[in-house]
């Protein structure tokens, strides 16, 4: 019979045709493209583990809060958020990541024995589901903060039930000698305080007794204690509803060592929860992501000594610290399927880091390994990348997600630039004056020195909104990833940030938001706060933004108010497929005060009026632009106005933009409208080069008949100008 316990989570890593595959992707092909070391995750393994877990506990309809500390990668977290999971967090940083990943605040629980006041404040402001409190002083601080913010705080106390879970001593958290939680009597007393407080609202009882637990028994003992406290407190009139049993569900790292039998656990805890009519919260981390990830590394050298043979690989303890820290065991597999006929050899698999503790396996019997070949450290999805660091100035590895035969880099390998990010060399220390160095340094006022050395520690991180300033053919935008809804009042925010004098300054604000139809949704706000339907330059910028941030690949599709857009990346050039043009109106005569003007109208996602002029530089844009924009024919929305000169090799275009209420250096949809109209009235054909003040663009299209066009593409540059953080003024 198959060992069903070992298979109780999803395995999508198998040898096919002599190579290790993840789903339908050959891992060594990814390794050749991405370089090593890198983490690789299986989408179907992750989602399968979550579904299996949810299904097993479904009789109790629990709130499953994924423990972000296991692996906080945004893509993996988002996959779980979309499956309906909530999040268990330990810090403000994790709160920030959880919101970015899309976990709703009402499904976020916050544990940890050392929460700072700022972290508590932030959790209260974000209105998360509950704070799991670990000491009397923390409860006091939460109450004070709630009072200051005029907010009630939903709290549970973390019970330390004093049970031994028989795991590594560093990951045991529910014994009374561990720093975590409150023992029974302390908790009982503190719940009295909660009962009396008008600012604290009791939610339930929390526990987390350890990690990599492979037997149900400690959970049952802990839940019995929690149940006893729950009953006692209910008798005392506390309105408790939830029992949060934490995480800790063990997986199988080693052949023959089965994982926790979660079916048995679910069965056994059922009566304990049901009898109290309590609602259940569970916080799995490792069980969901652990078996879904591998660390792929390449063998650098094989070094033989009489005593032993070392396999020196290019991943180190900084990439995966579990063996060094916990003596953890990870199976090691060759990406090339080993030849069964060949005998194994006993080796130490070690990394390049300058520590003797830098190893992945000691005295392990493995199939013959050669220099240059790839190895996989199995079950490395949890507490692996999330515990990585850059000791020995080793950039942290890339992360890749595989789904069937597709794969994406979901986190880029760190660069050498990343390694020195935030470091500041005080100029005064190295000034060339004679008596520089120590003397000069000591003359800097203490406050100046502090700012110079530790600038980032002065910043209230959570109130700063990360943005990327981009430009596409001279149209400049502020791009913000708003999937975590960090910006709610979009209109006012746009007015503030787009202001050239008081804000960052831009032609528009681009918000990346959730979409259930495409990779994401792009929303564009003008500097006057109005929302625009579409802008070709903006679309190129956001396509490059999602690519650079690892949110989407070289090809992606996104929603806009004017319909779906697809994009294709080619280094800094981005080609986007535009909406098929519509509402063509040729030879439209507009009567203005000073005469009549004949032009053409086309909707390329946005309204455009095209006026051919002999010399675009001399066109009266400032005078005519606003008059045509507000002409009654185009009301109520108004139109953009393009002045177009036909040149030998293409067009020259200047655009007056509605919303910006002035000339911009270039307008993507305007350029497309100009090219199509130029083809209709002057027969210029496709592709057509267009010069704007912001740079060159290329328009591609297919003409179906005289006035019907399809397959319209706009190609041009999209560049990052800089990244920064903008201080939020109230929410």
Of 278 and 552, CB closest to ligand PLP: 278
The strand pair at 38-42 and 398-403 is best described as: parallel
Considering beta carbons, is residue 69 or 652 the nearer one to ligand PLP?
A: 69
Least gap, CB of 558 to ligand PLP (angstroms): 34
Give least dist CB 287 to ligand PLP, A: 6
Please, which residue, 76 or 480, has the CB nearer to ligand PLP?
76
Which of the 8 DSSP states describes residue 59?
A: G
Q: 321: helix, coil or strand?
A: coil
User: Closest CB to ligand PLP among 158 and 333?
Assistant: 158
Q: Residue 252 CB, nearest distance to ligand PLP (Å)?
A: 14
- 62, 311, 406 from 306: Cα distances, Å: 57, 14, 45
In terms of CB distance, is 351 or 381 closer to ligand PLP? 381
Q: What are phi and psi of 383, to 5 degrees?
A: 50, 35
Two tokens, residue 511: 């918000």
For β-strands 200-206 and 242-244, DSSP reports them as parallel
Q: Is 167 or 560 the residue whose CB approaches ligand PLP more closely?
A: 167
Nearest to ligand PLP of 90, 480 (CB atom)? 90
CB 282 within 8 A of CB 245: yes
Shortest distance (Å) from residue 537 CB to ligand PLP? 45
- From the CB of 323, what's the least distance to ligand PLP, in Å? 17
- Give, in order, the Cα–Cα distances in Å from 115 to each of 89, 142, 314, 401, 412: 11, 10, 37, 32, 30
Strand duo 86-89 + 63-67: pairing:
parallel
**And the tokens for 555?**
């090809």
**Least distance from ligand PLP to the Cβ atom of residue 194, Å:** 19
Nearest approach, Cβ of 130 to ligand PLP (angstroms)?
12
Please report how many Cα atoms fall inside a 13 Å half-sphere around the Cα of residue 580, on the Cβ side. 8
SS (H, E, C) 125-158: HCCCCEEEECCHHHHHHHHHHHHHHCCCEEEEEE
Q: Which is catalytic among the residues 26, 354, 535, 556?
A: 354
User: Which H or E run includes 523?
Assistant: strand 520-525
Torsion angle defined by CA atoms of residues 362, 366, 370 and 376, in that order, rounded to the nearest 10 degrees: -80
Q: Say if CB 288 and CB 262 are below 8 A apart.
A: no
Cβ atoms of 88 and 245 within 8 Å: the answer is: no
Shortest Å distance, C-beta 425 to ligand PLP: 38
Beta bridge partners of 297: 375
Q: Which is nearer to ligand PLP, 246 or 668 (CB)?
A: 246
- If we measure between CA atoms, which residue out of 114, 148, 110 comes closest to residue 126? 110
State the burial class of residue 561 (Cβ atoms within 10 Å of its Cβ: 0-12, 13-18, 19+): middle
Measured from the CB atom, the residue of 245 and 400 that comes closer to ligand PLP is 245
In the complex, what is the shortest distance from the CB of residue 208 to ligand PLP, in angstroms, rounded to a whole number? Answer: 4
CB of 150 to ligand PLP, least distance (A): 29
- Please identify, using beta-carbon distances, which residue of 239 and 327 lies nearer to ligand PLP: 327
Task: Tell me if 250 sits within 8 A of 265, measured CB to CB.
Answer: no
Identify whether 354 is a catalytic site residue.
yes
313: which residues sit within 8 A by CB, 6+ positions away? 37, 297, 298, 299, 300, 349, 350, 351, 352, 360, 375
Residues near ligand PLP (CB under 6 A) are: 67, 69-70, 88, 111, 208, 211, 246-249, 283-287, 382
Cis upstream peptide for 330 (omega within 30°): no
Distances in Å between the Cα of 532 and the Cα atoms of 183, 474, 580 are 57, 18, 18
Under 8 Å between Cβ of 388 and 351: no
Alpha helices for 426-470 (secondary structure H): 437-443, 446-453
**In whole angstroms, how close is the CB of 145 to ligand PLP at the nearest point?**
21
* DSSP letter for each residue of 89-104: ESSHHHHHHHHHHT--
- Residue 655 exposure: Cα atoms within 13 Å on the Cβ side: 33
Instruction: Look at residue 405 and give its three-state secondary structure.
Output: coil
Active-site positions read 354
């Amino acid at each position: 019979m198959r060992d069903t316990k070992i298979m109780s989570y999803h395995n999508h890593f198998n040898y096919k045709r002599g190579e290790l595959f993840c789903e339908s992707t050959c891992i060594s092909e990814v390794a050749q493209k991405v370089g090593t070391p890198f983490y690789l995750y299986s989408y179907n393994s992750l989602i399968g583990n979550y579904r299996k877990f949810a299904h097993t506990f479904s009789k109790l309809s629990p709130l499953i809060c994924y423990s972000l500390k296991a692996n906080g990668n945004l893509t993996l977290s988002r996959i779980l958020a979309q499956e309906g999971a909530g999040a268990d967090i330990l810090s403000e940083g994790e709160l920030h990541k959880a919101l970015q990943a899309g976990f709703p605040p009402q499904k976020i629980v916050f544990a940890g024995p050392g929460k700072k006041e700022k972290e508590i404040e932030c959790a209260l402001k974000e209105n998360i589901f509950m704070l799991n409190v670990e000491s009397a002083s923390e409860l006091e601080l939460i109450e004070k903060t709630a009072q200051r913010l005029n907010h009630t705080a939903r709290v549970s106390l973390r019970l330390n039930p004093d049970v031994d879970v028989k795991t590594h001593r560093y990951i045991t958290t529910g014994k009374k000698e561990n720093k975590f939680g409150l023992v029974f009597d302390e908790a009982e007393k503190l719940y009295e305080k909660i009962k009396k407080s008008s600012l604290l609202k009791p939610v339930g009882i929390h526990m987390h007794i350890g990690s990599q637990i492979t037997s149900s028994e400690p959970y049952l003992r802990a839940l019995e204690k929690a149940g006893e406290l729950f009953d006692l407190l209910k008798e005392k009139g506390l309105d408790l509803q939830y029992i949060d049993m934490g995480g800790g569900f063990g997986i199988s790292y080693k052949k023959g060592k089965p994982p926790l039998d979660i079916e048995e656990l679910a069965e056994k805890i059922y009566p304990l929860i049901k009898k109290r009519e309590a609602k259940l919260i569970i916080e799995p981390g490792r069980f969901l992501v652990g078996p879904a990830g591998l660390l792929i590394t390449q063998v650098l050298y094989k070094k033989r000594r009489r005593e032993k043979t070392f396999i020196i690989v290019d991943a180190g303890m900084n990439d995966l610290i579990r063996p060094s820290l916990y003596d953890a065991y990870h199976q090691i597999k060759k990406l090339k399927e080993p030849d069964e006929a060949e005998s194994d050899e006993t080796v130490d698999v070690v990394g390049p880091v300058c520590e003797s503790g830098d190893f992945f396996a000691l005295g392990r019997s493995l199939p013959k390994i050669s220099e240059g070949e790839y190895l996989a450290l199995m079950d490395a999805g949890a507490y692996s990348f999330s515990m990585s660091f850059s000791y020995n100035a080793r950039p942290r590895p890339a992360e890749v997600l595989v789904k069937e035969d597709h794969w994406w880099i979901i986190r880029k390998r760190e660069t050498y630039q990343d390694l020195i990010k935030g470091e500041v060399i005080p100029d005064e220390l190295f000034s060339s004056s004679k008596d520089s160095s120590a003397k000069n340094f000591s003359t800097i006022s203490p406050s100046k020195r502090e700012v110079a050395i530790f600038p980032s520690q002065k910043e209230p991180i959570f109130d700063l909104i990360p943005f990327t300033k981009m430009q596409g053919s001279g149209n400049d935008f502020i791009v913000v990833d708003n999937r975590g809804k960090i910006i709610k009042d979009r209109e006012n925010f746009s007015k503030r940030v787009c202001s050239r004098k008081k804000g960052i300054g831009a032609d528009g604000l681009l918000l990346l938001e959730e979409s259930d139809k495409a990779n994401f949704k792009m929303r564009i706000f003008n500097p006057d706060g109005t929302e625009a339907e579409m802008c070709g330059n903006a679309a190129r910028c956001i396509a490059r933004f999602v690519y650079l941030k690892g949110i989407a690949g070289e090809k992606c599709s996104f929603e806009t108010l004017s319909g779906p857009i697809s994009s294709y990346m080619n280094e800094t050039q981005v080609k986007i497929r535009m909406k098929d043009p519509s509402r063509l109106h040729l030879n439209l005569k507009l009567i203005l005060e000073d005469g009549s003007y004949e032009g053409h109208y086309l909707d390329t996602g946005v309204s455009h009026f095209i006026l051919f002029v002999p010399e675009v530089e001399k066109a009266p844009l400032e005078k005519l632009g606003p008059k045509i924009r507000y002409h009654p024919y185009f009301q109520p929305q108004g139109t953009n106005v393009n002045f177009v000169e036909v040149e030998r090799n293409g067009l020259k275009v200047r655009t007056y933009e509605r919303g910006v209420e002035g000339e911009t250096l270039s307008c993507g949809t305007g350029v497309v409208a100009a090219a199509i109209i130029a083809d209709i009235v002057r027969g210029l054909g496709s592709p057509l080069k267009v010069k704007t003040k912001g740079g060159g663009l290329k328009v591609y299209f297919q003409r179906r008949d005289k006035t019907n066009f399809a397959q319209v593409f706009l190609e041009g540059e999209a560049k990052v100008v800089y990244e920064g953080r903008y201080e939020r003024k109230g929410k």
